Structure 1
Amino acid sequence: MSTVADNTTVTEAPVADLTNVLARGPRPKRPSAWSASVTFGWRAVLKIKHVPEQLFDVTAFPIIMVLLFTYLFGGALAGSPREYIQFLLPGIMVTSVVMITMYTGVGVNTDIEKGVFDRFRTLPVWRPAALVGAIFGDMLRYAIASLVILGIGLALGFRPAGGVLGVAAGIALLILFSFAFSWIWTMFGLLLRSEKSVMGVSMLVIFPLTFLSNVYVQPSTMPDVLEAFVQANPVTRLVTAVRTLMDGGWNTGEVLWVVVASAVLVAVFGTLTMRLYNRR
């Protein structure tokens, strides 16, 4: 009899403990797609907080770029670094931000290799929220890089004729395009096997786009074949739009082109990325 009583006590105790642990009341609602994406974006920000070295590419790298090209080419191309930076700074801002978009794909690939995304896929949330949130977090990095470049440019003598509104509009347009451009590297982050592969492919695409553009010199000074490529380069269109806004003008055609191109990039590569992620 004592054995039966003891068994009853042993089996009933866990049941009672489990009842106390279970939440009483209605089941919480499933978070919306926007709420889940913002939460994953906050995760990306917290990663920067705990590993601040991740900000090296959006602080030290842009400063080096501005100083290097201003004082390396300024005297030869414009007579003085102060004159050259008026032309150079919007282009360097575009170059630096577009270059760091590749780290979105690198981060996604790293999370996949570590098995983090397998855990995310088991959560009762909108499945692509982890991808969208990662890009949301990187938008903060784009803004930081833009402000760092603007700050060093102002210290070196850059004076935008467009004032605060022109600069803000130019940075907003740059961040919009970078958000769309990041979807390309997110797709590669899902396709390729290692983060080194993602970085290698990204560099292979980004370097020609950023250096064969109107960032450093006017396309009219180039050979005809090269000038034709530069004029068709999407980075050239973006630089022209940002440069015009910061100069106080409004190039409707270029601004509209950047907005439409951004929408197309999201529609094409965002869709491909979602399908790849759902099939993994």
Structure 2
Amino acid sequence: MSAAAYAVSDCWTMTRRELTHWSRQPVQVLVGLVFPVMMLLMFGYLVGGGRGVQGEYVDFLMPGMLTLTMVFGLEGTMTAVTRDLEKGVIDRFRAMPMADGAVLVGRAAADMLQSTVGLLLMTGVGYAIGWRTSGGPGAFLGAMGLLLLLRFAMLWIGIFLALVAGRAELVQAVQILVWPIGFLSNAFATPEAMPGWLGTVVEWNPMSATATAVRELLGNPGGEPGWTLVAVLWPLALLAVFFPLAVRRFGRLGA
């Protein structure tokens, strides 16, 4: 086998390891899937309002909630990484004849699979409460691709921060920072309905770019032409920074 084939095999082995944990922690997986649904129903029916939104609020809200789902829930991956660090599991894997970074790639692959399942669940619930799209199958797949790309970028930010934190108890402090990022976006309201300075901050949030592009692709209120490229460039820029940082940090563990 070639070196690339060995690397793929190692990454798949680590992915299966993470997936095996699902059967042993079903409650944690279920909570991760249900929490975004609860938020969707809460904002859609209890505290929703959609200031500045033209059209049905649920059609504006759904792309925002799908985007928010891609940002939240990173604490599961961060906790898993720090737990393996504390128990010395990663040190044992690094001592084995295994491709560098296979542990991280396996963890990322498992998270992306769970994120895909979460998107499908959220989409089904959205249609059940009246959300409708008009962009066609190609546009729908493109929107899902943008959402998963954002998740992939945020995931490597989380992995890097977990490697820096090193301890599970510090993950909670880092996770608190995700909330301002999530809510300082156009997920729930348009920037035009906010104070000028706040609207500017919201427009520069990578989440807002993805939400706006998804709305445009799906034909929902709040979409604007030209944001798809921005929604691709933001995650790629984040990946260009945090992926090598995470790999480098992993390589220096124990040094």
Q: Is the 8 A contact 1:62 1:148 kept in 2?
A: no
Alignment partner, residue 228 of structure 2: 255
Matching residue within 179, 190, 211 for 1:207: 179
* TM-score normalized with structure 2 length: 0.89
Alignment partner, residue 81 of structure 2: 108
Q: Is the 8 A contact 1:37 1:130 kept in 2?
A: yes
* Residue aligned with 1:32, SS: helix
Deviations 1:143-172 (A, max 9, x none): 111111111111101111123332222112
Gaps spanning 5+ residues in structure 2: where? none
Q: Is the 8 A contact 1:58 1:142 kept in 2?
A: no
Deviation at 1:251, TM superposition (A): 6.1
Alignment partner, residue 27 of structure 2: 53
* Residue aligned with 2:187, SS: coil
Q: Alignment identity in percent?
A: 35
Deviations 1:63-102 (A, max 9, x none): 101110000234x448xxx932111011011112210134
Alignment pair present for 1:88 and 2:58: no
Gaps spanning 5+ residues in structure 1: where? 1-27
1: CA distance, partners of 2:149 / 2:181? 18
1: CA distance, partners of 2:196 / 2:98? 53
* Residue aligned with 2:134, SS: coil
Q: Higher helix fraction: Structure 1 or Structure 2?
A: 1
Aligned residues, how many? Answer: 248
Alignment pair present for 1:264 and 2:241: no
Alignment partner, residue 19 of structure 1: none
2: CA distance, partners of 1:148 / 1:129? 29
Matching residue within 128, 152, 167 for 2:140: 167
User: Larger deviation: 162-171 or 148-157?
Assistant: 162-171
Deviations 1:93-126 (A, max 9, x none): 1112210134222211111111111111112111
* Residue aligned with 2:72, SS: helix
RMSD between superposed Cα atoms in Å: 2.2
Alignment partner, residue 44 of structure 2: 70
Q: 1:236 to 1:58 in 2, by over 3 A?
A: same
* TM-score normalized with structure 1 length: 0.82
